[in-house]
Structure 1
Amino acid sequence: MTRPTRHLCIATGQNLANLIPSLQLGATEVMILETPAMRDAATNLKRALEARGIACTRIAFDDATPEAIRTSAEAIAMELGTEPLVFNATGGHKLMTLALAGNLEALADDLHLVYAETRHDRLDWLKPLPAMDPMTDVLGIDDILRAQGYRRTADGNRDAFWQADADARANLTRKMGDDAERYERFFGTLNRLADYALADENRFAPRQEFEYAPGGRNAELLSEARRIGLVRWDDDTVLTFASPEAAAYFRGGWLEEYVWYKLRGLRPHDWAVNLKTQSYATQVENECDAVVAHRNRLLVIECKTSGFGRNETRDVGYIYKLAQLSDQLGGSMSRKLLLSARPINDDIRHRARDYRVDILAAADVRELVDYLKRWMRG
């Protein structure tokens, strides 16, 4: 069935349910009803729609009393007239949608009433005939961010030099990620030395020293790092980082690169590493190690290579921050993943479940691809 390209929706705190049908159905004009409480949400939705070339109009709706709702619904129906219309009834409260649907049906010659059932990835139609359509994958990272009141300020994906450097150390990165549990203590040591090297932002201190000369698998890892030019090491206690970038890699950047490799192989709808975002409302900037958009949902990934297990209050703080940031950037459909190179105890895992944060730690890191595939499938 051909659907009208003129749409009406109600601004809500979960605007993805408004954005998805407009993009999927090829809307050319969207009228956004805004109650006093949803003015900011209407601003965000308008920004997201206009970024995709869709004309938008914001219309005030008084929902203070049942009488005000009835009066507002009648006035809007009269203003919209008899032209064909898709009314997205997902937002707003019951009295609003009932009043609007009744008045629109009385006037419009061709009313299409839809509800975005995001839990089940479908569009449910009540008028003109009952029907169900599967949702298509229409939202990229920027669409979701704009609808939530944020914008992208930078990301690592678009830096060709970063990608070339990452490719040069691909084998080392895969080894560190796939065998993370074998290097548990050594990761902490490398992280600490890299921290010392980068402690003074005005003066890089490349020469650092182990308490004792690494041996066994740790020595093999350093030998590989030496072979590709990341460090200088003469099988003794002195380690020299080749550059600030090399130190940053051992301070934790390698795990972000590991995620990037796995995402590049899976090819989700949209993804980015080292993503920086800024709120339109507060100008506050946030940084995410990795963000994935697929099936109109956002997955926010936090990478940790050291620090967990020593201070439970701080650990819970990391998890809470990840949960809050994910909800702010991606809304109620977002998912959160903490990827840790080192083990995480059961108490912290329990707190993470309370905040709906998934964890892959130590030996579980190698299961990242399976986790991503499950999430992508839903």
Structure 2
Amino acid sequence: MPKRIFVTRHRGAITWAVRHGLRARKVEMSNFDVASVAPGDVVMGTLPVHLIAEVNRRGAHYWHLAMDVPPEARGKELTADEMDAYGARLDEFRVTDLGSRTQSIDTPEAWEDSDGRPVLHLCIATGQALPNVMPIIQGAWDRVVVFASPTMAVQAERLMDVARREGERRGQTGAPILVRLPADGGYAATHQRVIAEVAKLRKGFPEYRVVLNITGGQKLMTLAFADALRSQADIIYCNTDRGQIERIDPPGADGLQLPDDLLDLATYLEMQGLRITRQMRCDDDEVMARLKSRERLTAMLALRMPQFDTGLQSQVGPSRRVAYGLAAALHDLAATAVDSTRATGKARTPRPFQAVQVAQLMEPFRVSADSRTLLQQLVKQGVLDESSGIQGGQLRVVFPDVAAAVYLSGGYVEEFALLSAAAIGLPVSHFAGNVGIDVRQARADRRNYELNELDLALVWRNRLLIVECKAGRALMNKSQDILNKSATLRDAVAGLHGSSWILSTSELSKTHLGDVMDRAALNRLTILDGAESLRDLPQRLAEWAGIEWQPSFRSWAKVLGGNSSRSAAKPARR
């Protein structure tokens, strides 16, 4: 059972304690043995600071007998009445022994202004690396030290790569330092290792001021670091929700606001263990010339084609599957052409491209003027050969190349998304389309195989948005697979600081709406479906980025020549 010990040699203090009902064993200061203190005990009195620290280290509580004694009464033996008059009370304190400083007395650096000293930046490798990366890129430091448990070796190497490159950019010569933590990750072992390793670092860098980022690591590890270095280091925390580096110790210091453009797309993905294998960026003049030359066609396909001739029924491909509407027929024909080139057999031999594709109209149907205009635009823009069209109950399309078939099979939605992102004026290094990603280390057995592709990716305010683009009825036909993939990609690629949207050119039908939206809510996904949702995609991206939409920005209404005073867009489905 925990003990209560009242350590004092003053008779007045003993009388005061009895008067106030204190039940404790009275011990003279000369007879107090701190080695007898056990966890949970309560020691009361006026102990020297170093003994209080030892009491606390042993897991016991210390209650200090405190009073507001006037100068004329100091040094006198006080009575219980005088103690009451001076506000005698028991206040609990906790004291931590931070080590001997005797050897620092004659060290000039110990007395200089700490702001002018070089900085030793300490961080803890963790599964979520971005809160460690941002202070390294933004903060002031002269050397970086990465603490890592055995399970975080890979993450530590990524951090050191970033620190190495950032140091080179700043013209610093000192390489980052790796400190290995014990495997168990428990509080006591970590606490002792940190104290020992920091002592070594102080000997090696006596003139350096220590800054500790405690954002990384599991909870016990974070507590061990904070307890070991409290009052010895400036302790910071990267608050990604507020976009700030907060100062924990010393308390009351101002935080540092993180710039919105601190992380670009390549750096963000790198810290998630990924590399970009290919991408479509808006600083590529050839790419942008192609996208801009057909942006009005792209807008028509994304925003208007789903409404063209929805009653049209046709049979497509060898399986004679039925397509409903002009959009579905064109998508199926283009997809069939793309699939015709897929490699077959063990040798993975590519097949010849089947440029000509035909859909049989199932019943007499008068094609609308809008549909014929669209087909003419596809021919004019070089997506279809001039021999394409509706003739004798057939929809016949001829693609000049595979790229044209890829565009019509759904690539136009990705171009629509990329042009929407370009409209809000983000730096080109912060967004891209058709982003191929793979693990950072090249794999000899899968050199030509990417891990995955992001249709559109944007990084701003140090967060990642992944946009998945779906043409026609793809979201309705394969909703479970698409939603599961989007959620998995977000978690694996974006981590805790990302979100995922799904764009669908077709609006969800009542039959599919409930099921798809329930799955989307479960996976924390946002769905933009149909023309009413997609027409304001640039504005929605600007809102996500925290950028105020400017009248000078080019909207899709301007591209199409539509009326910009139309009603507000349909809210995104979440």
TM-score (norm 2): 0.61
CA distance in structure 2 between the partners assigned to 1:294 and 1:272 by the alignment: 12
Offset of 1:25 from its aligned partner? 1.3
Structure 1 range deviating more: 291-300 or 155-164 = 155-164
Q: Distance in 1 between matches of 2:141 and 2:132?
A: 11
Q: Does 1:320 align with 2:484?
A: yes
User: RMSD of the TM alignment (CA)?
Assistant: 2.4
Q: AA paired with 1:348?
A: V
1:305-344 equivalences under 5 Å are: 305-308=471-474, 311=477, 314-344=478-508
Q: Which residue of structure 2 lines up, in the alignment, with residue 149 of structure 1?
A: 273
- Describe the shift of the 1:179–1:85 C-alpha distance in structure 2 as closer, same or farther (beyond 3 A): farther
Amino acid at match of 2:229: L
Higher relative contact order (CA 8 A, sep 6+): 1
Query: What secondary structure is seen at the aligned counterpart in 2 of 1:210?
Result: strand
User: Residue 377 of structure 1 aligns to which amino acid in structure 2?
Assistant: G
Equivalent position of 1:362 in the other structure: 530
Q: Distance in 2 between matches of 1:211 and 1:336?
A: 38
**8 Å CA contact retained: 1:4, 1:86:** no
- Pick the aligned partner of 1:76 from 197, 203, 226: 197
Cα offset, 1:28, TM superposition:
4.3
- In structure 2, relative to structure 1, the CA distance for the partners of 1:319 and 1:298 (3 Å cut) is same
Which is worse superposed, 171-180 or 356-365?
Answer: 171-180
Note if 1:120 corresponds to 2:242. Answer: yes
Alignment identity in percent?
Answer: 27
Cα distance in 2, alignment partners of residues 315 and 74 from structure 1: 53
Distance in 2, matches of 1:79 and 1:186, equals: 73
Amino acid at match of 2:439: S
Structure number with greater Rg is 2
The one of 332, 336, 351 aligned to 1:192: 332
* One-letter identity of the residue aligned with 2:489: L
Alpha-carbon shift at residue 223 of structure 1 (Å): 1.3
Give the counterpart letter for 2:460 in structure 1: H
Higher helix share: 1
C-alpha change, 1:142 and 1:49, in structure 2 (3 Å) is: farther
Where does residue 139 of structure 1 map in the other structure? 263
CA distance in 2, matches of 1:260, 1:27: 37
- State yes or no: 1:273 paired with 2:433: yes
Tell me which moved more, 62-71 or 168-177: 62-71
Structure 2: distance between partners of 1:206 and 1:375: 41
Q: 1:48 to 1:342 in 2, by over 3 A?
A: farther
C-alpha displacement at 1:57, in angstroms?
2.2
- 5+ unaligned residues in a row in structure 1: which ranges? none
Other-structure match for 2:421: 263
Q: For 2:183 and 2:383, how far apart are their aligned partners in 1?
A: 62
Shift of 1:43: 2.4
Gaps of 5+ in 2: 1-114, 169-174, 311-324, 342-350, 444-449, 548-574
| Contact persistence 1:47–1:146 (CA under 8 A) | no
Shift of the alpha carbon at 1:296?
Answer: 0.4
**Residues 1-378 of structure 1 mapped to structure 2, 5 A cutoff:** 5-53=119-167, 55-62=175-182, 64=184, 65-81=186-202, 82=206, 83-105=208-230, 108=232, 111-128=233-250, 129-137=252-260, 138-157=262-281, 160-179=285-304, 181-183=306-308, 185-201=325-341, 202-212=351-361, 214-231=367-384, 232=386, 233-236=388-391, 237-269=395-427, 270-280=430-440, 283=443, 285-308=451-474, 311=477, 314-344=478-508, 345-346=512-513, 347-363=515-531, 364-377=533-546
Query: CA–CA distance in 1 between the matches of 2:166 and 2:516?
Result: 41
Distance (Å, rounded) in 2 between the aligned partners of 1:74 and 1:217: 75
- Contact 1:47 1:147 (8 Å CA) reproduced: no
How much has 1:27 moved relative to structure 2? 3.8
Q: Distance in 2 between matches of 1:49 and 1:179?
A: 49
How far 1:131 sits from its partner (Å)?
1.8
